[in-house]
Chain A
Amino acid sequence: MQKEITLELKNITKTFGKTVANKNVNLTVRKGEILSLLGENGSGKTTLMNMISGIYYPDEGQIFINGEEVKIGSPENAYTYGIGMIHQHFKLVDIFTAAENIVLGVKDGTKFNIKDVNSRVEQIASKYGFNIDVKKQIYEMSVSEKQTVEIIKVLYRGADILILDEPTAVLTPQEIKKLFDVLRRMKEDGKSIIIITHKLNEVMEISDRVSILRKGEYIGTVNTCETSENELTEMMVGKKVELKITRTQTNFDKPLLEVRNLSVKGDDGSKKVNDVNFYIRGGEILGVAGVAGCGQKELCEAIAGLRKVDDGLIMHKGESIIGKPANEIIEMGISMSFIPEDRLGMGLAPNFSITDNMMLKTFRESKKFTVDGEKLKGQPKWKAFLLKSWCAVKNVAHMPFVDRKAARKRATELIKRLEIVTPSTETPIRRLSGGNVQKVLVGREIESNPNVIVTAYPVRGLDINSSYVIYDMLNEEKKKGTGILFIGEDLDVMMALCDKIMVLCHGKNMGIVHASKTTKEELGLMMTGALDLSDAKQKEYGKAKDSNLTDEQWLEKEQQEQQAKEERNDG
């Protein structure tokens, strides 16, 4: 039975300057179905959806709604055609309440009265099974609540075609389940839903049909029940991809980073990391699992020297790094990359080019000149001396300047290796798509040749191909003997990639398990705090047997730290 078509795109083309974002894209959406739009980063999914919702205007092609050709000139216009978009980066006014945000821009001719709005919003929420406090201000909300506001916002306007841009990228498994329930209820209600996502298991679970874009071009549409994850990947990437993470076996070295009794306070003054013990060896990947916001960020920042340590020790090769400024910690070879929930914030300057962003980390290095040994051979002594001193002079003279050429070379290498889609090394990174920006950040941290990598959510929102490139990079680093702290979301990935997994629950270490011996259920129980392995074992939990320091030295360090702390407090 063919349901009627609500939205149809024919030969849509859109270019930005030299970049072709969409080329001859065709798409149909039917009433009461969920269509997945699949494609890698930079394949033009978001651009396409922005054209449907009136933010951009297509250069060529036609849009039909319920069989009639329309021109969608503005978001307001899109609403009149019943199209509502839930953006990947939420467009909400922080200091407004949920209800105020929802009613914003609505012109229904009725007298504006916030109480009526509140009750209408509650009505919609109960109809589709949302949980929402209409009087709560946005800045006090979690990501999932904000998303709920966005969805109700378009429903309030009576949208029949809903577009969700990567709605699950920032949600926990439970929140995703809730969202999908809501989506199914909307589908039964006769709404057409387009959902953009990279996660293939979600595509298989929720959608009726899948349309695939690759590098701006339309590849095809398949029925979900007639396809498989492997086929979809092939269509999306254009070649067969092995969907398997290999765990490289290495010989573990001595512990590189040892953390004992670490406590760190969060921004609000509450204890976010509570008495945590663990260690990372060279050539080991230690995964950190946990529900969002249970101390991962604070742990990262404490190790990177960006956050004050409340109590405990962090030892790098037997040397304390507490109280050291961030740049010294970087010089010791500890690198951190943290991909925040909204993926844009930390670590990169949006108006800088890739080259400039590479230099942000390496600005202390200037061009180094050395004398070629071959050249010196057979030269008289005075000439060799002159050549050497000239070289030294050149080095001194270049000290105030950064080495742009080297940075550009590194940028070019990075673009090639990670297949970053960008017009050039000099394009400001804010012009790149979200996933590409992320590749630059993670790539830069790995390029700086650290011996400890702390990386949080490095593949957040990345497509399959890029994710695997990043896993490969981490594995390669591991082979080199680097210790890696991998803070992740996807338990399947962590169980395949990591050697051990530490589970945090409200900042407390619930136990460290071998990835090959644990189960998803066990990890899940630990994440919610129902299972605490650290209690069952003895006091030495999370402390390496072959530590760099003897017990006496640890005690001494502890006392030193205590003293230093008191001195700081006195001063």
Chain B
Amino acid sequence: MIMFLQNAIRCSAAFMFGCLGEIITEKSGHLNLGIPGIMCGGVAGGCLSCYLYMGAIPDYTQPSYILLLLIGIIGAVLSGVFLGSIYAFLTVTLKCNQNITGLALTIFGTGFTDIVMQLMDVTKRKQYFSIASTYIAKPLPFAQNLGWFGELFLSYGALVYLAIALCIATGIILKKTRVGLHLRAVGENPAAADAVGIKVDTYKYGSILTGSSVAAIGGFFYVMDLVQGLYNQYQPVEAVGWLAIALVIFTLWRPYLAIAGSVLFGALYTVSNFMDVSSQITNALISFIPYVVTVIVLLSVSVIGSKNVQPPSSLGLNYFREDR
């Protein structure tokens, strides 16, 4: 049981990054369907920078923990910013359709990732990544001594805690600070925000780039921590990305709920590994559950119809100032 929960929580971090990234983006009124592609991009950026770092140091079996983690995150963030800025430029500055731009970005991001990963030498890549992942997934030092508590709460790599910390920080920023208030106003009613002198485009760029970076770390985490450095294909990462977008609706655009929602989705995602699955069909049915849950939540949200659980009012709409 603890094994299962442990797996669920570890897995949830991947969802948490993706979901939080999308929440931050959507708060500015932009629906970014490019998140799956950006998460893949995070794989490429994070892995490439780790690969280069390990190739540069004299003994690749003994990298510095802090440097490896930092360089990986920076790499992922840079690729997230790169892909996010494409999306932001197209939708904010050129006012392109958000859905189409996002879908195109996903297709681009997955292809881009495959090319980058093929740039690396396959044997070296495998060696490097299996070592890197042992470092990155390293549990907190005192986890073993605390019994089930330690196993359940302290046995994860640093990135899992980073995900939770980011969720909480985002929640505080959105609710308590002026920046958060302004960002929410931009997503709700950009014309109102503009009229009081908030720089709408700046906020949109900021939130899209931040959101993309967070999501990109999610991709890096997926490969380096969750699957222990095994990279075969981009499809699993992309699937996590799509689920993360669905999860945003499930969490009602609230960063705190994103933690709980991600753990639930993580559990649903890994449950098939722990069940005695006899056939392909049951397996498929189980992996189907998260989507069904999302549909149910969507339905109940629209039935409740309260203004407080609705998406940002101008979600998916571009803002033209001189439009009447």
Q: Taking beta carbons and an 8 Å cutoff, which residues of A are in contact with B?
A: 53, 55-56, 74-79, 85, 87, 91-96, 100-101, 103-107, 112, 137, 139, 153, 430-431
Q: Check B188–A93 contact: CB distance below 8 A.
A: yes
Q: In the complex, A430 Cα to B322 Cα: how many Å?
A: 12
Of B178, B192, B199, B313, the most chain A CB neighbours within 10 A belong to B192
Q: For A113, give the chain B residue with the smallest CB separation.
A: B176
Question: Whole-angstrom distance from the CB of A291 to the nearest CB of chain B?
Answer: 25
0/1 interface trace, chain B 178-211, chain A, CB 8 Å (1 if under): 1001101100110111111111000000000000
Residues from chain A with Cβ under 8 Å of B308 in the complex: 95
Taking the closest CB of chain B, its distance from the CB of A356, in whole angstroms, is 18
A76 and B197 form a contact (CB under 8 A): yes
Q: List 21 A-B contacts (CB under 8 A).
A: A55-B321, A76-B197, A79-B197, A91-B192, A92-B189, A93-B189, A94-B189, A94-B307, A94-B313, A95-B310, A96-B181, A100-B181, A104-B182, A104-B193, A104-B198, A105-B196, A105-B197, A105-B198, A106-B196, A107-B178, A431-B324
Interface size class of B (residues with CB under 8 A): 20 to 34
Is there contact, CB below 8 Å, between A139 and B322?
A: no
Contact B185 A93 (CB under 8 A): yes
Contacts of B322 in A (CB 8 A): 55-56
**Smallest distance from the beta carbon of A416 to chain B beta carbons, Å?**
24
Docked complex Cα distance between A100 and B188 (Å): 13
Q: List, in ascending order, chain B residues with CB within 8 A of A100's CB.
A: 181
What residues on B are CB-neighbors of A431 within 8 Å? 324
- Would you call B177 an interface residue if the criterion is a C-beta within 8 Å of the partner chain's C-beta atoms? yes
Residues in chain B within 8 A of chain A (CB atoms)? 176-178, 181-182, 184-185, 188-189, 191-199, 307-308, 310, 313, 321-322, 324
Chain A residue numbers with a CB within 8 Å of B199 are: 76
- A105 vs B196: C-alpha distance in the bound complex, in angstroms? 5
Q: How many A-B residue pairs have CB under 8 A?
A: 73
Shortest distance between the CB of A568 and any CB in chain B (Å)? 23
Q: By the criterion CB–CB under 8 Å, are A153 and B196 in contact?
A: yes
B324 touches A105 (CB 8 A): no
Q: Are A137 and B321 in contact (CB under 8 A)?
A: no
CA distance A430 to B323 in the complex (A): 9
Closest to A79 in B: B197
Is the CB–CB distance between A92 and B192 below 8 Å?
Answer: yes
Q: Would you list the 7 A-B pairs with minimal beta carbon distance, nearest first?
A: A76-B197, A105-B196, A91-B192, A112-B178, A91-B195, A93-B188, A105-B198
Whether the pair B189, A139 counts as a contact (CB closer than 8 A) is no
Contact A96 B307 (CB under 8 A): no
Residues of B within 8 A of A96 (CB): 181, 184-185, 188
| A139-B177 contact in complex given A87-B195, A93-B189, C-beta closer than 8 Å | no
Known: A91-B195, A104-B181, A105-B182. 18 other contacts (CB 8 A): A55-B322, A75-B197, A76-B198, A77-B197, A79-B196, A87-B195, A93-B185, A94-B188, A95-B308, A95-B310, A96-B184, A101-B192, A104-B185, A105-B196, A105-B197, A105-B198, A106-B196, A153-B196
- The closest CB in chain A to the CB of B199 belongs to A76
A430 to B177 alpha-carbon distance, docked (Å): 37
Q: Which residues of B contact A91 (CB under 8 A)?
A: 189, 191-192, 195-196
List B contacts of A101 (CB < 8 A).
192
CA distance A105 to B190 in the complex (A): 12
Contact status B196-A139, CB under 8 Å: no
How distant is the Cα of A216 from the Cα of B184 in the complex, in angstroms?
A: 37
C-alpha spacing A100/B199, complex, angstroms? 17
| Distance of A412 Cα from B142 Cα, bound (Å) | 82
CB nearest neighbor in B for A157: B196
Decide: A112 and B181 in contact? CB cutoff 8 A: yes
- Known A-B contacts A94-B307, A105-B182, A112-B178; A74 and B197 likewise in contact (beta carbons under 8 Å): yes
Q: Which residues of B lie under 8 Å from residue A55 when comparing CB positions?
A: 195, 321-322
Give the distance to chain A from B44, nearest Cβ to Cβ, in Å.
38
**Complex-state Cα separation, A87 to B191, whole angstroms:** 11
Shortest C-beta distance, A423 to chain B (Å), equals: 14
Residue in A closest to B192 when the chains form the complex, CB atoms: A91
Measured in the bound complex, the distance between the Cα atoms of B193 and A92 in whole Å is 8
Cross-chain contact A75 with B189 (CB below 8 angstroms): no
The CA of A375 and the CA of B193, in the complex, are separated in Å by 67
- In the complex with contacts A56-B322, A105-B193, A431-B324, A112-B177 CB distance below 8 A: yes
Alpha-carbon separation in the docked complex, A264 to B192 (Å): 36
B195 is contacted by which of A75, A112, A137 (Cβ under 8 Å)? A75
Contacts A95-B307, A153-B196; A103 near B321 (Cβ below 8 A): no
Q: How far is the CA of A56 from the CA of B323 in the complex (A)?
A: 11
Which residues of chain A have C-beta atoms less than 8 A from B193's C-beta? Answer: 93, 104-105
User: Is B321 touching A104 in the complex (CB atoms < 8 A)?
Assistant: no
Chain B, Cβ-Cβ closest to A78? B197
Q: For B197, list chain A residues within 8 Å (CB).
A: 74-79, 105
CB distance from B143 to the nearest CB of A (A): 38
What's the minimum C-beta distance from A135 to chain B, rounded to whole angstroms? 14
User: CA separation between A172 and B182, bound complex, in Å?
Assistant: 33
Bound form: Cα–Cα A101–B192 in Å: 9
Docked Cα-Cα span, A248 to B181, in Å, equals 57
Residue on A nearest B177 in the bound complex, by CB: A112
State the Cβ distance, A500 to closest chain B Cβ, in Å. 39
A82 to chain B, nearest CB (A): 13
Instruction: Tell whether, in the assembled complex, residue A75 and residue B194 are in contact, meaning their CB atoms are under 8 Å apart.
Output: yes
Among candidates A92, A93, A107, residue contacting B184 with C-beta atoms closer than 8 Å: A93
